[in-house]
Amino acid sequence: VFQLSVPLNFLGSVYRELRQSLLDMETLFNLQKVNVAVKDKPDAKPLLLSSGEIKFENVTFGYRPNRPIFKNLNLTIPAGKKVAIVGPSGCGKSTILRLLFRYYDTQEGRILIDGQDIRDVSLESLRKAIGVVPQDTPLFNDTIGHNIRYGNLEASHDQVIEAAKRANIHETINHFPDGYLTMVGERGMMISGGEKQRLAISRLILKDPPLLFFDEATSALDTHTEQSLLSHINSIIKERKRTSVFIAHRLRTIYDSDLIIVLKGGSVAESGTHEQLVDRAGLYSELWSAQETLFADAEEEKEVAGDA
Ligand code: ATP
């Protein structure tokens, strides 16, 4: 009896681990709003990436067919450029990303990556090509080191550390009680929103995908950390010529993009560089002025508080 209880206990713990990781996957899938109806075609081929151009052609889509979010949306995200997608809350910025990942299929029109309709390629190759730093990063009940390695399971410890350094989180991890072996997640040490975002960026650096998406990726960081991280990200993008898309509310984080696409009412309201859009005196320029006023007020408040 005694001998038998050992392997049973062992199995029990394996079962608990397995159960926990399934729970984690569920959370991850819920966060990403996966639609299981989307499947590979029987003859699906792997996505072949060349330059990394993304095109939405006449895309009509709504979560409910009678409530379209996009109506004949046309947009091109040029290869190797830094592109921002902005627009009022609820205009469909994150939906662009969900469609690209094929969590949903379009009702009309098509989405092309380097000329290939994403419905013709395997889901695995499609999702492997896209890296995302989401608004809320899922953490696994595991060590912080493994949480970074989740970006690339084959990465060595040195590569994990290098990625953490580039994402500005190495020093923070060194101050954790067990360094890279510190348990995080629901059953481990709680880490802040800003630390989670830097963790997600280190995962992305390890994954090194050809297409990069940042969905409000630096919103939980203070201005100083955000600026320093954005300049790191910018240098990675430039150095490796990655197509990168920033979904953003705060225009200060994206005004230096090669192209800014402004969505409104289901289609592209305007697009261009920051200078072009400010000159146009349209929606972007309105949003920019409103945010700059808020920013100036906040700075003034800080100064007043500092003087007091
Ligand atoms: P925000 O700037 O506030 O993050 P967003 O521009 O990214 O918004 P989306 O998240 O793309 O907007 O959502 C677009 C619209 O679709 C919103 O009205 C939202 O409520 C709705 N929506 C999003 N996800 C679903 C869903 N799974 N089912 C039904 N409606 C949804």
pLDDT by residue for the chain (308 residues), tens digit each? 344 444 444 445 554 555 445 444 544 544 455 555 788 999 999 999 999 999 999 999 999 888 999 999 999 999 999 999 999 888 999 899 899 989 899 999 999 999 999 999 999 899 889 988 877 777 888 899 999 998 888 899 999 999 999 888 999 999 999 999 999 987 778 888 888 888 888 988 888 889 998 887 777 777 777 787 788 788 878 888 889 999 988 898 899 999 999 999 999 999 999 999 999 999 999 999 998 887 777 777 777 776 65
The CA-based dihedral angle spanning residues 24, 27, 30, 34, taken in that order and rounded to the nearest 10 degrees: -10
Distance 112 CA to ligand 1 centre (A): 22
What pLDDT was estimated at residue 35? 57
Q: Which among 36, 63, 253 is the best mutation to test ligand 1's pocket, defined by most ligand atoms within 8 Å of the CB?
A: 63
ipTM of the complex: 0.95
Q: What is the pLDDT of residues 118-141, one digit of tens each?
A: 999 999 899 889 988 877 777 888
What pLDDT was estimated at residue 307? 63
Q: Which among 61, 71, 94 is the best mutation to test ligand 1's pocket, defined by most ligand atoms within 8 Å of the CB?
A: 94
| Nearest CA, atom 29, ligand 1 | 63
Residue 135, SS3? coil
Residue 48, SS3? coil
SS3 percent helix, strand, coil of the chain, rounded to 5, is 45, 20, 35
Does the beta carbon of 10 sit less than 6 angstroms from any atom of ligand 1?
Answer: no
Distance 3 CA to ligand 1 centre (A): 55
Distance 147 CA to ligand 1 centre (A): 28
Does the beta carbon of 100 sit less than 6 angstroms from any atom of ligand 1?
Answer: no
Partners of residue 84 on adjacent β-strands: 246, 260
